[in-house]
Amino acid sequence: MTVSASTPSFPSRLPNVGTTVFTVMSALAAEYQAINLGQGFPDFPCDRKLITGVNEAMLADRNQYPPMIGIAELRNGICQKIENLYGHHYDPESEITITAGGTQGILTTILACVSPGDEVVIIEPAYDSYRPSIELAGGKTIFVSLQVKRDANGQVASYEIPWDELANAIHSKTRLLIINSPHNPTGMVWQKEDLDRLATLVKSTSTLILSDEVYEHMVYDGAEHHSVASHPELAARSFLISSFGKTYHVTGWKVGYVAAPVALSKEFRKVHQFNVFTVNTPMQYGLAAYLADASHYLNLPAFYQVKRDFFRAGLEQTKFKLLPSPGTYFQCVDYSALNIPEAKLNEADFCKWLTTKIGVAAIPVSAFYDQATESSVIRFCFAKQEQTLATALQRLHNL
Ligand code: GLN
């Protein structure tokens, strides 16, 4: 007798979601041996001291479950850092939670505060995890778009916060607003006045804020990062999310944190404990030891500014039009003025072509929009060794 086995079908929780663009483009880059300036990660090693710290923790048998909220040493270090940089005290015991990277912090925040039917406002272009996370919570995503400013030739010149649209989108049903500065993919950085304006906008509402600040230590030209933690009114209603992967060149370690007032952290932890429970122990000890030396993150803007300026200077010699990059490790360019037929391709196809035929992978900015908005703009990541950037520039130069 033969037994036929069949897998039951069931309705997808995320019917419109495919594989994330970062994974798709990294796979394509690997297949074609292209220089991967797509997914955001460094191609250079992290500090050996950081690895030594993790190794020491492992050898000291710190390999069992840490506390659900993360080890005290790391939470204390984060508390100190936020207090020194942004002047806000989060209680490490009740207001700081270690997460398995920024993306888990985002999902868990959303699951913790968004109920079915609640509205969540996001500002596009937006990191691709926001919307599916809102859908998993049963929330309704309300899209607001950054204003695209164009120059006299019709090429994209900059992006600006759409205050009027934002004011119209936020009302009594808005449970959560997601903001992101420095902004992925445009590099846009919020100013102090922007935080003031946002505080006025949400003042009479019960809207909470998720502030994705994973690129907080990548702000250039002497500018400052303005965290919600630097603004008491906003801090009182915000989940602040950051990531050690970005700051310490260890994106593969997947460790980040969420700082939020006690009432918000309490709800966050209810979900977190049944989501990942906690985050790997030795990494936390390694990071805690490393965090004690502030110079590592204080030097990061200068470190990345050299790379940004080198990459921008090279791109100036090409037919790509440079957009501003005041923050993050991303540089966006407009390709519409290239003198080749491919300049007419949509962003996704242009990136595929660039990866497979020219040998440089990039990310289409359209992937950060719900309805693919075509602006002929793609994103490069410059968190690379100078030689990597130089080789990529040579290839782009010929276009
Ligand atoms: N945040 C990274 C980027 O924008 C990607 C993270 C990921 O691949 N999930 O490139």
Residues 59-91 pLDDT 10s: 999 999 999 999 999 999 999 999 999 999 999
**Full-model pTM:** 0.96
The confidence score (pLDDT) of residue 1 equals 64
- The verdict on the CB of residue 104 being under 6 Å from ligand 1 is no
pLDDT tens per residue, range 108-138:
999 999 999 999 999 999 999 999 999 999 9
Average pLDDT (162-176) is: 95
Domain extent listing, the chain: 21-45+296-396, 64-293
CA–centroid distance, residue 246 to ligand 1 (Å): 10
Q: Counting atoms of ligand 1 from 1, which one is nearest the CA of 129? A: 9
Distance CA 357, CA 378 (A): 16
pLDDT tens per residue, range 5-16:
999 999 999 999
The confidence score (pLDDT) of residue 320 equals 97
- The verdict on the CB of residue 139 being under 6 Å from ligand 1 is no
Q: What is the fold of 21-45+296-396?
A: Aspartate Aminotransferase, domain 1 (3.90.1150)
pLDDT tens per residue, range 220-266:
999 999 999 999 999 999 999 999 999 999 999 999 999 999 999 99
Q: Counting atoms of ligand 1 from 1, which one is nearest the CA of 127? A: 4
Average pLDDT (179-201) is: 98
User: From atom 7 of ligand 1, which residue's Cα is the shortest distance away?
Assistant: 22
The dihedral built from the CA positions of residue 193, 196, 198 and 200, taken in this order, carries a sign that is negative
CA–centroid distance, residue 395 to ligand 1 (Å): 24
pLDDT grade, residue 2 (50/70/90)?
A: confident
- The verdict on the CB of residue 22 being under 6 Å from ligand 1 is yes
What is the pLDDT of the chain when averaged over all its residues?
97
The confidence score (pLDDT) of residue 253 equals 98
pLDDT tens per residue, range 272-324:
999 999 999 999 999 999 999 999 999 999 999 999 999 999 999 999 999 99
Average pLDDT (133-147) is: 98
pLDDT grade, residue 396 (50/70/90)?
A: very high
Percent of the chain with pLDDT over 90: 97
Average pLDDT (41-45) is: 97
pLDDT tens per residue, range 318-369:
999 999 999 999 999 999 999 999 999 999 999 999 999 999 999 999 999 9
Pocket test for ligand 1, best of 99, 127, 213, 363 (most atoms within 8 A of CB): 127
Considering the domain 64-293 in this protein, what is its CATH number? 3.40.640.10
Percent of the chain with pLDDT over 70: 100
- The verdict on the CB of residue 184 being under 6 Å from ligand 1 is yes
